[in-house]
Amino acid sequence: MLRVMQDTAKRHLYQGKSIGFVPTMGALHEGHLSLVKRARSECDIVVVSIFVNPLQFGQGEDFERYPRDSEGDREKLLRARADILFAPDAAAQYPESFSTHVTVSALSERLCGAFRPGHFSGVTTVVCKLFHIVRPVSAYFGQKDYQQTVIIKRMVEDLNMGVEVVVVPTVREPDGLALSSRNAYLSPAERKAAPVLYRTLLAASQEVKAQAAPPVEIKARMHAALLQESLISEVQYAGVYDPATLEEATEFGKRTLLALAVKMGSTRLIDNLLVDR
């Protein structure tokens, strides 16, 4: 499978075809499909990978119960006119002898990294492997996982991978909740309450635009708004950040990142907005 993908990619490259690549963990929704659509509009060959990467799940996280829907995914990708579905198995990706990891330091420890040690190293290791197998000219990632896009761009630049990283806007439900495979875990009451994440970001973005208060105050209001929702059991982080370094902002730059991560019961939800002045 792995070898077939590698040979197919080489053949397309040899024929001068551009390969666009969309890495995913499956249980595909319209967010994933917006990346496929963008790749379809820009590249000759569209490759989508589905791989629930054990390396990026920590102890006690949801690797085993992560939603899987291979039949549904296949149909959606056919309809979206993807050319190749690459679904390697974990044993082939990580044989016993596997010893190499790619870690982007500093950026990987901030925001989600502080709560998910080792997570981004798992992401960069698998994305690096997938890039070598698929050989894309462009790879498509969602802004939903903003920190991931910053880290992957850093890896691509640092390791001279020569892949264009394209960031695609977050697709949301009509009530503002960002689409996520993990939304399937939410109880009906949690699902009803979940748009508070986006509402909190929107309210904060108005304050950033108006520079109505310093970043620390906006951060405090975001925490207060989230904690007013009784179904939120933990606010892991919420605040105003520098979009390049992911560090907490002490003053406003040209572009501001608003980001948050909360737990609703056992479900971890993240969201973010970029605000331009």
Active site amino acids? 32
Contact flag: residue 32 with ligand AMP (CB under 6 A) = yes
Which run of H or E residues covers position 253?
none
Residue 272 engages ligand AMP in binding (rule: CB under 6 A): no
Residue 129 interacting with ligand AMP (CB under 6 A): no
Among 34, 49, 108, 267, the residue binding ligand AMP under the rule CB under 6 A is: 34
- Tell me the closest approach of the beta carbon of residue 168 to ligand AMP, in angstroms: 6
Q: Identify which of 82, 90, 88 has the alpha carbon closest to the alpha carbon of residue 40.
A: 82
| Residue 124 contacts ligand AMP per CB under 6 A | no
Tokens of 231: 């179904």
Sequence-ordered list of residues with C-beta below 8 angstroms from that of 195, at least 6 positions apart, any chain = 173, 175, 176, 177
Of 28-36, 87-95, 108-116, 194-202, the segment contacting ligand AMP by CB under 6 A is 28-36
Residue 46 or 171 with smaller CB distance to ligand AMP: 171
Q: Which is nearer to ligand AMP, 35 or 218 (CB)?
A: 35
> Does residue 24 touch ligand AMP according to CB under 6 A?
yes
Cβ(177)–Cβ(247) under 8 Å?
Answer: no
Spatial separation of the C-alpha atoms in residues 194 and 186, rounded to whole Å: 9
| 181 forms part of the interface with ligand AMP (CB under 6 A) | yes
Part of the chain binding ligand AMP (CB under 6 A), chosen from 76-84, 172-180, 225-233, 267-275? 172-180
Compute the distance between CA of residue 65 and CA of residue 157 in angstroms, rounded to an integer. Answer: 34
The string over 134-161, giving b where at least 16 C-beta atoms fall within 10 Å of a residue's C-beta and e elsewhere, is bbbbbbbbbbbbbbbbbbbbbbbeeeeb
Per-residue interface string for the shown chain with ligand AMP, residues 130-149, x marking contact by CB under 6 A = -----------xx-xx----
Identify the bridge partners of residue 133 per DSSP, sorted by sequence position. Answer: none
- Give, for 165, the enclosing helix (H) or strand (E): strand 164-168
Least separation, in Å, of the C-beta of 31 and ligand AMP? 2
Smallest distance from the beta carbon of 171 to ligand AMP, in angstroms? 4
Q: Which residues bind ligand AMP (CB under 6 A)?
A: 24-25, 31-32, 34-35, 141-142, 144-145, 168, 170-171, 178-181
